[in-house]
Amino acid sequence: MIIDAFVLRALVAGLIVAVAAGPLGCLVVWRRMAYFGDATAHAAVLGVALALAFDVSIFAGTLFAALVVAGAVSTLAGRGWAMDTTLGVLAHSALALGLVVVSLLQGVRLNLESFLFGDILTVTARDLWLMGGGAALVSALMLWRWEGLLAATISEDLAQSMGLNPARERLVLTLALALVVAVALKVVGALLIAAMLLIPPATARIYARSPEGMALLAIGAAALAVLAGLGASLIWDTPAGPSIVTAAAAMFAASLGGAALIRRLSRG
Amino acid sequence: MRRLPQGGLGMTTLIEAKGLSVAYGAAAPVLRHVDFILQAGEIVTIVGPNGSGKSTLLRALLGMVAPTAGTVSRATGLRVGYVPQALHLDANLPLSVARFLRLNRRLGQAQVAALLARVGAPGLEARSLATLSGGQFQRVLLARALAGNPQVLVLDEPTKGLDQPGTAAFYRLIEQVRRELGCAVLSVSHDLHVVMSASDRVVCLNGHVCCEGAPSVVSNAPEYRALFGLGTGGALALYQHHHDHGADHPDHPHDHETCNHDH
């Protein structure tokens, strides 16, 4: 059987997302930033609109919009605004504004669905290089700042007493989050990026015994979901992005059920 | 940040604040003109009601917040062991006690075991932090603070959330650790009535330093002695205090039997 090049590219793209999203997703879960990830991802739609309007690459536009929204959320929350309100305002404003701007653009025939739910089968070689670069940067940030990020997650006071600067760790997280959004946009789409950040770590949590173990398991769970979801999408002709997320969700449910069963058996 | 010179005769000053004021943004200052000094080996407890600026004073003394006025100086290369207020860990973070102690710090297996034994929590290495009791958790936090062989142990309401026997046991442990290490202990309590009997000095804070003095002066107050003094092995003493002066009149002269006033 010959695997088509576009399928191979899709597979590589999915695995790149898995590597980038796994460890960062764990931090998002531990720091209870789930909604923060969602807001940043929604901003990607505004980024797409801006990229088309100013004729720059979609990757750059997405990265820019995600950074701006993530930065705005951090700043407002730092000034005492309730986090959920700030996120709710910014996430939906960015999404709505993005949709409006796209509709206003003259002469652009855009398949919006591909940005909302991903279009992994149209990933080009150039996309792969960009995504790979973004993911490598995220991984480097995670490796470089891991102890600091973990310390600041456990307690910002404690981190400060170790001579770390929690504000810098927050900045690293914001940057990494924006990068992951830009990397994952074409794979799962703006509406489902948060799912790739949250579901694999949730699955990994069931098995993990250490923070590092959970980060690696999250990469593994995400990679498996990409394989299963992409395969299912090819066989049954379902949309790839939602299929990947569905596979991830199925793995989580199976793990949860399995863990409960093991507990019951070991007790009984 | 000024650095204090080492040495002097007998006492070494570890931390000194002069005319320290701290404000967050445009709000009214949390601390006003606080003078504070901590000598080597000294046990000082800061007490005060909620919102009196106790934690802010600690954070300013450690350089975690910048003063809006005044100066804070610390001895050169001061080793601080910090025990934060009770942490709220996300249950989704699988973190063992040993991994927590090794966070951002290189410790061998034997060192981890020795630290846990020192704080009376031996054998907890493999336990998940999330499954520890409140008392065990505070001991692990203390173990982490001790890992750097500190010259001063700084505790921010370390017994918050512990019951009375737990609190008493924790303070006994602090006293024991101090005897062994000879470090200074600077702690904060929001409970005006419960301070360490071993404190050399109690600083009462309410935005400014209301008063400070030796707790022994007040430790004989019979009604509190009856409540705390007997069942706790003497670890808890009492510091009677009446806030009959308003915080908005910091310079209002007032008399206080148990405090040395310095307004």
Do A10 and A186 contact (CB within 8 A), yes or no?
no
CB atoms B103 and A151 under 8 Å: yes
User: Closest partner residue to A30 among B90, B99, B144, by Cβ?
Assistant: B90
User: Closest partner residue to A161 among B82, B89, B99, by Cβ?
Assistant: B82
Order the strands of the B152-156 sheet from edge to edge.
Answer: B80-83, B152-156, B184-189, B43-47, B201-205, B209-213
Residue window 7-46, chain A: list those with CB within 8 Å of chain B.
Answer: 29-32
Give the residue, A191 or A235, on which the prediction is more confident: A235
Q: How far does A217 lie from chain B, in Å, by closest CA?
A: 12
DSSP secondary structure letter of residue B207: S
Instruction: Read off the pLDDT of residues B49-73 as tens digits, 9 standing for 90 and up.
Output: 777 788 888 889 988 888 888 888 8
To the nearest whole number, what is the mean pLDDT of chain B?
A: 75
* B4 in a structural domain: no
CB atoms A155 and B84 under 8 Å: yes
CA distance A165 to A182: 26
CB atoms A201 and B92 under 8 Å: yes
Provide the residue count of chain B: 263
Confidence check: pLDDT of B260 > 70: no
Give the residue, A16 or A80, on which the prediction is more confident: A16
At residue B10, the pLDDT reads 45
Do B172 and B222 contact (CB within 8 A), yes or no?
no
User: Closest partner residue to B104 among A30, A147, A201, by Cβ?
Assistant: A147
A202 has a chain B CB within 8 A of its CB: yes
Residue of B nearest to A160 (CA): B64
Find the CATH number of the domain harbouring B207. Answer: 3.40.50.300
Give the residue, B218 or A198, on which the prediction is more confident: A198
CB atoms B92 and A157 under 8 Å: no
Confidence check: pLDDT of B223 > 80: no
Q: What band does A11 get if pLDDT is binned at 50, 70 and 90?
A: very high
Confidence check: pLDDT of B256 > 50: no
At residue B21, the pLDDT reads 87
Give phi and psi for B15, each to the nearest 5. -135, 135
* B13 in a structural domain: no
* B23 in a structural domain: no
Give the residue, A11 or A37, on which the prediction is more confident: A11
Residue A179: CB partners within 8 Å, gap ≥ 6? A20, A63, A134, A135, A137, A138
CA distance A8 to A3: 7
A150 has a chain B CB within 8 A of its CB: yes
Residue A44: CB partners within 8 Å, gap ≥ 6? A62, A65, A66, A98, A115, A181, A182, A185, A190, A193
Token pair in block for residue B6:
């080492």
> B52, B48, B40: which is closest to B186 by C-alpha?
B40
A162 has a chain B CB within 8 A of its CB: yes
CB atoms B156 and A157 under 8 Å: yes
3-state secondary structure of B188: strand
At residue B255, the pLDDT reads 38
At residue A1, the pLDDT reads 54
Report how far Cα A253 is from the mean position of its chain's Cα atoms.
20
Q: What band does A179 get if pLDDT is binned at 50, 70 and 90?
A: very high
At residue A263, the pLDDT reads 83
* B207 in a structural domain: yes
Confidence check: pLDDT of B243 > 80: no
**Residue contacts between A and B (CB atoms, under 8 Å):** 62
For chain B, what percentages of helix, strand and coil (3-state, to nearest 5) are there?
A: 25, 25, 50
Do A243 and A220 contact (CB within 8 A), yes or no?
no
User: Closest partner residue to B104 among A151, A155, A211, by Cβ?
Assistant: A151
At residue B23, the pLDDT reads 85
When pLDDT is averaged across residues A91-118 and rounded to a whole number, the result is: 82
Residue bearing tokens 């990607």: A44
A197 has a chain B CB within 8 A of its CB: no
* B110 in a structural domain: yes
Confidence check: pLDDT of B1 > 80: no
What does the CA dihedral A24, A25, A31, A34 come to, rounded to 10 degrees?
130
In DSSP notation, B85-103 reads: S-----TT---BHHHHHTT
At residue B198, the pLDDT reads 67
pTM: 0.82
Give the residue, B163 or A200, on which the prediction is more confident: A200
DSSP secondary structure letter of residue B38: E
A217 has a chain B CB within 8 A of its CB: no
β-strand partners of B155:
B83, B187
Q: Assign residue B37 a region: left if phi > 0, alpha if psi is -120 to 50, beta otherwise?
A: beta
Report for A83-87, A105-109, A212-216, B185-189: range of highest mean pLDDT: A212-216
Confidence check: pLDDT of A155 > 50: yes
At residue B130, the pLDDT reads 85
Single-letter amino acid code for the residue at B29: P
User: Closest partner residue to B80 among A29, A161, A210, by Cβ?
Assistant: A161
CB atoms B94 and A205 under 8 Å: yes
* B69 in a structural domain: no
The whole domain housing B216 covers: 41-56+79-237
Instruction: Read off the pLDDT of residues B136-171 as tens digits, 9 standing for 90 and up.
Output: 888 999 999 998 889 999 988 887 777 878 888 888
Number of H helices, E strands in chain B: 6, 12
CB atoms A157 and B82 under 8 Å: yes
Single-letter amino acid code for the residue at A248: A
Please give the span between the terminal C-alpha atoms of chain A, in angstroms, as a whole number. Answer: 48
Token pair in block for residue B185:
């202990």
* B258 in a structural domain: no
Residue of A nearest to B62 (CA): A161
Mutant choice from A154, A168, A197, A209 vs B, greatest count of B C-beta within 10 A: A154
Residue bearing tokens 């507990």: A263
> A107, A70, A104, A108: which is closest to A90 by C-alpha?
A70
Instruction: Read off the pLDDT of residues A108-145 as tens digits, 9 standing for 90 and up.
Output: 667 778 888 888 888 999 999 999 999 999 999 999 99
Count the domains in chain B.
Answer: 1
Do B162 and B194 contact (CB within 8 A), yes or no?
no
CA distance B226 to B222: 6
At residue A233, the pLDDT reads 93
CA distances from B255 to B143, B211, B215, B217 (A): 41, 10, 17, 15
CA distance A243 to A229: 5
At residue B196, the pLDDT reads 57
Q: What band does B245 get if pLDDT is binned at 50, 70 and 90?
A: very low
Confidence check: pLDDT of B174 > 70: yes
Q: How far does B112 lie from chain A, in Å, by closest CA?
A: 17
Q: What ipTM was estimated for this complex? A: 0.83
CA distance B16 to A208: 46
At residue B169, the pLDDT reads 83
User: Closest partner residue to B62 among A29, A153, A161, by Cβ?
Assistant: A161
CA distance B2 to B158: 29
At residue A224, the pLDDT reads 97
DSSP secondary structure letter of residue B128: B
Report how far Cα B147 is from the mean position of its chain's Cα atoms.
17
At residue A18, the pLDDT reads 95
Q: How far does A31 lie from chain B, in Å, by closest CA?
A: 7
Residue bearing tokens 């442990």: B173
Give the residue, A74 or B69, on which the prediction is more confident: B69
Give the residue, B191 or A127, on which the prediction is more confident: A127
At residue A80, the pLDDT reads 66
Query: pLDDT over 90 for what percent of chain A?
Result: 44
Q: How far does A99 lie from chain B, in Å, by closest CA?
A: 35
At residue B59, the pLDDT reads 87
Do A6 and A214 contact (CB within 8 A), yes or no?
no
3-state secondary structure of A38: helix
> Per residue in B161-174, is it b (16+ CB within 10 Å) or e — as a string?
ebeeebbbbbbbbb
* B32 in a structural domain: no
When pLDDT is averaged across residues A199-227 and rounded to a whole number, the result is: 96
Question: Domains plus CATH for chain A?
Answer: 5-191 (1.10.3470.10)
CA distance A137 to B197: 54
CB atoms B90 and A32 under 8 Å: yes
Residue of B nearest to A203 (CA): B92
